[in-house]
A and B are shown apart, each in its own frame.
Chain A
């Protein structure tokens, strides 16, 4: 149709603009850099042998992402529902798919800024040690994808409720479960299934500098799955 292809972009661009008009994004970015810097210093000056291994930093940063993603996404659809502004958007010729993808794209742009900002740590470290930039890039890609899953989960939680607080709590719970799924120590197929579900296990191939196809597929399918669920949730709540 005429311009329908680009409508997700219209929504995403607005989301991006609005994100940096409120203090929330700046506060989160500041805290992110502060805590990440703290992690980095801890790794460099550790009495057990300081390390310039960026993969360890990424392993720590993704824990931070578990907290960050709910904050980046809680507003996206819940607030639209609370204020009713969704009514005006969804009565224009936009499909729920474009609407949800636009919201996700906007949040992903913000998250990309966070990922790039954290790039200052390998840059600083590279003054002190020799870094394998290929490995660093793979680790960063892994972190970015990890965050992308976090945002998809957060978006889904935001589609379920009109309360930002509830959305944040739900997405944090889902993310924590996914992160810690392998905490249940069993044997047999249950163990391997839980292990396969675990978010952190799939990060390993990225942080060691090799991008394994099945890990890539794991992250992408989680993203697609939660986006699909978000679209269904937006669709279904009109029928309620």
Chain B
């Protein structure tokens, strides 16, 4: 796949602590990349540097090979940008506003009207073209913002928190739109909503306190988290302490945690990295085998996939732990 957007070590310093450091990732054509992070992590700053609104303190942004430092106009021509809570002109009609942005985006004169019609049809803005932007609902304003971002058919589309402040139906619509644009453009969008990022993205870049703390495909991030280990949960008819002891003896098991016992059935959580050459299914057999000598019967066994939420909380919690000197609170969450 062709690289459309390349972000190479960008740093933006505001003061001693704010800003972003050494952000690196790339977005290929036809790919949707999610910039995920808690509020205040530096997502908006990163996007503003990429779109050329804020000059970086260091690092490079390249779009289709054009460097933002050397050819800022060439880069801007190739980016469509939907800022957070898009700041549109409230005193213009939707049509006039789109025409204004089409001219600034250098859409050729003979194509302007047809492009506005196309985009309006795709984003279902046809009925509001004559209305004043300031009178539109939040959902429509967001779509007008998206419309101006794609008028000039940019190779790269950058959206800052496109679903914030929308109602559930609008969120679903906006996600569908972002997904549909993903096939034609390289899409980079920011979000603090994990489920959304997992749903839409081919690749996730997790950013926290101004730095990239992890990136990869959603599935990779989950697996990588425990250093290749997986978690199995077993429910066994038998005494919890003895069952746990038997499971601990299996090669590759790192930890076993009894999680309660009721009516003679105990629940045990086993974290283990299967020895090389043994698949996770075969490894489950070994765990079951360990129960046989005790005569305990297996009620249930399942492999627990680490969720992205866990990854995210763990990554950001450990940072929190380091900086605040407080124990990471993981169990306490719902």
Binding site for B on A (CB under 8 A): 1-4, 7, 10-11, 14, 17-18, 21-22, 83-95, 238-239
Within 8 A of A (CB), among B60-81: 73, 76-77, 79, 81
What are 14 residue pairs bridging A and B, where the CB atoms are less than 8 Å apart in the complex?
A: A4-B73, A10-B100, A21-B91, A84-B83, A84-B87, A85-B88, A88-B81, A88-B87, A88-B148, A92-B105, A93-B73, A93-B105, A93-B106, A238-B55
Q: Across the interface, do B89 and A7 meet the contact criterion of CB distance under 8 Å?
A: no
Asked if B298 CB lies within 8 Å of chain A CBs, one says: no
Min distance, Cβ B73 to any Cβ of chain A, angstroms: 4
Give every chain A residue within 8 A of B103 (Cβ-Cβ): 3, 7, 10
**Central interface residue in A1, A14, A89, by most chain B CB within 10 Å:** A14
Give every chain A residue within 8 A of B54 (Cβ-Cβ): 238
User: A10-B100, A18-B92 given as contacts; is B105 within 8 A of A87 (CB)?
Assistant: no
- Determine the distance from Cα of A56 to Cα of B152 in the docked complex, in whole angstroms: 54
Give every chain B residue within 8 A of A84 (Cβ-Cβ): 83, 87
B149-178 CB mask vs A (1 if < 8 Å, else 0) is 000000000000000000000000000000
**Central interface residue in B53, B76, B101, by most chain A CB within 10 Å:** B53
Interface size on B, residues (CB 8 A): 26
Ranked nearest first, the 4 interchain pairs of A and B with the lowest CB-CB distance are: A84-B87, A92-B104, A85-B87, A93-B73
Q: Across the interface, do B87 and A91 meet the contact criterion of CB distance under 8 Å?
A: no
Asked if B218 CB lies within 8 Å of chain A CBs, one says: no
Min distance, Cβ A117 to any Cβ of chain B, angstroms: 23
Given A4-B73, A88-B101, 10 more A-B residue pairs with CB atoms under 8 Å apart are A4-B106, A10-B103, A14-B89, A18-B91, A18-B92, A84-B83, A85-B89, A88-B86, A92-B104, A239-B55
**Central interface residue in B54, B101, B104, B105, by most chain A CB within 10 Å:** B104
Asked if B48 CB lies within 8 Å of chain A CBs, one says: yes
Q: Across the interface, do B53 and A2 meet the contact criterion of CB distance under 8 Å?
A: no
Asked if B51 CB lies within 8 Å of chain A CBs, one says: yes
Which A-chain residue is minimally distant from B97 (CB atoms)? A14
Min distance, Cβ B14 to any Cβ of chain A, angstroms: 9
Within 8 A of A (CB), among B283-324: none
Give every chain A residue within 8 A of B92 (Cβ-Cβ): 14, 18
Q: Across the interface, do A83 and B51 meet the contact criterion of CB distance under 8 Å?
A: no
Give every chain A residue within 8 A of B105 (Cβ-Cβ): 92-93
Give every chain A residue within 8 A of B51 (Cβ-Cβ): 91
Q: Which of A11, A91, A95 lies in contact with B53, CB distance below 8 A?
A: A91
Asked if B9 CB lies within 8 Å of chain A CBs, one says: no
Binding site for A on B (CB under 8 A): 48, 51-55, 73, 76-77, 79, 81, 83, 86-89, 91-92, 96, 100-101, 103-106, 148
- Determine the distance from Cα of A17 to Cα of B88 in the docked complex, in whole angstroms: 16
Q: Across the interface, do A93 and B48 meet the contact criterion of CB distance under 8 Å?
A: no
Which B-chain residue is minimally distant from A240 (CB atoms)? B14
User: A238-B54, A238-B55 given as contacts; is B91 within 8 A of A91 (CB)?
Assistant: no
Q: Across the interface, do A88 and B88 meet the contact criterion of CB distance under 8 Å?
A: yes
**Central interface residue in A14, A91, A95, by most chain B CB within 10 Å:** A91
- Determine the distance from Cα of A87 to Cα of B77 in the docked complex, in whole angstroms: 15
- Determine the distance from Cα of A1 to Cα of B106 in the docked complex, in whole angstroms: 10
Which A-chain residue is minimally distant from B57 (CB atoms)? A239
Q: Across the interface, do B91 and A94 meet the contact criterion of CB distance under 8 Å?
A: no
Q: Across the interface, do B104 and A87 meet the contact criterion of CB distance under 8 Å?
A: no
Q: Across the interface, do A7 and B104 meet the contact criterion of CB distance under 8 Å?
A: yes
- Determine the distance from Cα of A91 to Cα of B87 in the docked complex, in whole angstroms: 13
Give every chain A residue within 8 A of B48 (Cβ-Cβ): 87
Q: Across the interface, do A87 and B87 meet the contact criterion of CB distance under 8 Å?
A: yes
User: A2-B106, A7-B103, A238-B55 given as contacts; is B91 within 8 A of A88 (CB)?
Assistant: no
Which A-chain residue is minimally distant from B76 (CB atoms)? A93
- Determine the distance from Cα of A90 to Cα of B274 in the docked complex, in whole angstroms: 54
Q: Across the interface, do B104 and A1 meet the contact criterion of CB distance under 8 Å?
A: no
User: A21-B91, A87-B87 given as contacts; is B100 within 8 A of A92 (CB)?
Assistant: no
- Determine the distance from Cα of A85 to Cα of B83 in the docked complex, in whole angstroms: 10
- Determine the distance from Cα of A88 to Cα of B73 in the docked complex, in whole angstroms: 14
Q: Which of B83, B89, B104, B148 lies in contact with A10, CB distance below 8 A?
A: B104
Give every chain B residue within 8 A of A3 (Cβ-Cβ): 103, 106
Min distance, Cβ A105 to any Cβ of chain B, angstroms: 15
Give every chain B residue within 8 A of A88 (Cβ-Cβ): 81, 83, 86-88, 101, 148
Give every chain B residue within 8 A of A87 (Cβ-Cβ): 48, 53, 83, 87
Give every chain B residue within 8 A of A14 (Cβ-Cβ): 89, 92, 100
**Central interface residue in A3, A22, A93, A238, by most chain B CB within 10 Å:** A93
Min distance, Cβ B211 to any Cβ of chain A, angstroms: 22
- Determine the distance from Cα of A158 to Cα of B325 in the docked complex, in whole angstroms: 46
Give every chain A residue within 8 A of B77 (Cβ-Cβ): 93
User: A10-B104, A94-B104 given as contacts; is B53 within 8 A of A238 (CB)?
Assistant: yes
Give every chain A residue within 8 A of B101 (Cβ-Cβ): 88, 92
